[in-house]
Amino acid sequence: MPRPFLVPFVNTAHAIDHLVMLIFPTVVIALSQEFAMSYGDLLALSVGGFIAFGAGSLPAGWLGDRWSRRKMMIVFFFGTGAACIVTGLVSTPWQMAAMLTVLGACAAIYHPVGNAMLAGLDPATMGRTMGINGLWGNLGVAAAALVAGALTDWISWRAAFIAPGVASIAVGIAFAVMIRDDKPATAAAARRQAAPASPPFDRAMLLRLFVILMVSTALNGVIFSATTLAMPKMFAERLSSLVSGTFGVGLLVSAVYAFAAFAQMCIGPVMDRWPTRTVFLPVVALQVPLLLLAGYAGGWTIVLVAVPMMFFVFGQIVVNEVMVARYCADAVRSRVYAVRYFVSFGASAVAIPLVAVLHGHGQGFTTVFVVLGVGALGLVASALWFPSGRALAGAARAPAAP
């Protein structure tokens, strides 16, 4: 695949992936009247979609390795687009729940397949590559609230699903025409793919790194999904005297996410220059006080707290991405990515009932964010357990003799 064409398509796919998965949390404000359901009950309709988003990554990663990554990406573009369009045509809550599940299954293809494509590029700039790709994904998150809010207010909530669906299919057509094969992007990538698998560390260190990755992935998945799910409704509640309408809320949420979107672009290059633990620890430690503050902030203060909070929540994603690229053997990397996303998006599904229950039976979003802040202490513990550079060097396997 020619790199000049491949990377922009993979980045665009990342933006589409996150945009379509976060349309529903914004249009839910309008759906509460049409479907005559409470906020918590409406959120429950998307549980199947987030479960499919996580579970679908396992077969998607396997098919990407065994069948064709290019063809899987074509399935992603067309399947996601078609699912969005049909979701915009449903008329009952159960139809909505079913189509959100189909949408999640199609959207699950991107992460294990797209990141495996990028992971075969230059390892010296892996942090920067993953950071830029993360920026595109975060811009998709930011655009979701804006696009969905604007289309809902100006046309209808149905247009908020249909328009992105049409765009996804259009990009898929261009991808199918311009990306013609599954060849590695560079000669170096071809040599790495041809090399036999060789674990870079002894078994004890590999197990330690795997546990740290899974714990940080699961907790980040819950925190990321809970904050992005809750933000539109929380802003609508706490800024009701300052902004009005779905578009006004969506615009403000998008502004917060747009700033936070640059976190991965900032942190990615830092990962190329500094040890993983040195970057990992402050990124997760700063989430704890900011999540707790968000639980009590009101008025414009909530915006001032939300910006740095989401910056570090988004920024942790690139830390986990580089962790896989840096410490996992190339021959099994796509499968490790698939497991990572299975855990991440499976944990994301927990965020939906968590937000619904805590918001409905606790003290609103105060309870939600206090619980998330306490949960973030687990991230701090995993970062503290991450091995130092000296420990990693001591556990490294000696290269095999030629």
The pLDDT tens digits of the residues spanning 375-384 come to 999 999 999 9
Domain 3-392 has CATH 2.60.40.420: no
> What's the rounded Cα separation, in Å, for the pair 353 and 173?
37
Highest-pLDDT range among 43-57, 114-128, 272-286: 272-286
Angle value at C-alpha 120, between 118 and 125, nearest 5 degrees: 75
Least confident of 248-262, 301-315, 377-391: 248-262
| Residue 88 CB contacts under 8 Å (≥ 6 apart), including other chains | 157, 158, 159, 160, 161, 162, 165
What does the pLDDT read at residue 284?
Answer: 93
Angle value at C-alpha 116, between 172 and 131, nearest 5 degrees: 90
Residue found by looking up tokens 């698998």 in the block:
197
- With CA atoms as reference, report the closest residue to 152 among 144, 160, 141: 160
Return the number of other C-beta atoms located less than 10 Å from residue 181's C-beta: 8
Written as one letter, the residue type at 209 is L
Using left for φ > 0, alpha for ψ between -120 and 50, and beta otherwise, residue 364 falls in left
Span 144-169, pLDDT tens digits? 878 888 898 889 889 999 999 999 99
Q: What is this structure's pTM?
A: 0.71
* Per-residue CA distances from 387 to 4, 212, 229, 383 (Å): 36, 10, 33, 9
Average pLDDT over residues 74-94: 94
pLDDT of 399 strictly over 50: no
Using an 8 Å Cβ cutoff, are 218 and 343 in contact?
Answer: yes
Mean pLDDT of the chain: 82
- Tell me the percentage of the chain whose pLDDT exceeds 70: 86
Return the number of other C-beta atoms located less than 10 Å from residue 388's C-beta: 12
Return the number of other C-beta atoms located less than 10 Å from residue 40's C-beta: 16
Written as one letter, the residue type at 303 is V
Domain segments of the chain: what residues? 3-392
What does the pLDDT read at residue 73?
Answer: 92
DSSP 92: S
What does the pLDDT read at residue 398?
Answer: 46
Return the number of other C-beta atoms located less than 10 Å from residue 100's C-beta: 25
What does the pLDDT read at residue 201?
Answer: 67
Please compute, for residue 373, the number of CA atoms within 13 A of its CA located in the half-sphere on the CB side. Answer: 17
Q: What's the token pair of residue 71?
A: 């063809």
Least confident of 157-171, 179-193, 324-338: 179-193
> What's the rounded Cα separation, in Å, for the pair 70 and 176?
8
Average pLDDT over residues 205-228: 89
What does the pLDDT read at residue 402?
Answer: 38
pLDDT of 198 strictly over 70: no
> What's the rounded Cα separation, in Å, for the pair 48 and 248?
29
pLDDT of 301 strictly over 60: yes
- Tell me the percentage of the chain whose pLDDT exceeds 90: 29
Residue 115 or residue 194, greater confidence: 115
Highest-pLDDT range among 44-53, 68-77, 341-350: 68-77
Q: How confident is the model at residue 396 (pLDDT cuts 50, 70, 90)?
A: low
Least confident of 134-143, 250-259, 296-305, 329-338: 329-338
Q: How confident is the model at residue 195 (pLDDT cuts 50, 70, 90)?
A: very low
pLDDT of 176 strictly over 80: yes
What does the pLDDT read at residue 123?
Answer: 65
Written as one letter, the residue type at 40 is G
pLDDT of 45 strictly over 50: yes
Calculated CA dihedral for residues 265, 266, 269, 273, nearest 10 degrees: -160
> What's the rounded Cα separation, in Å, for the pair 310 and 224?
8
By the 10 Å C-beta count (0-12 exposed, 13-18 middle, 19+ buried), 61 is classed as buried
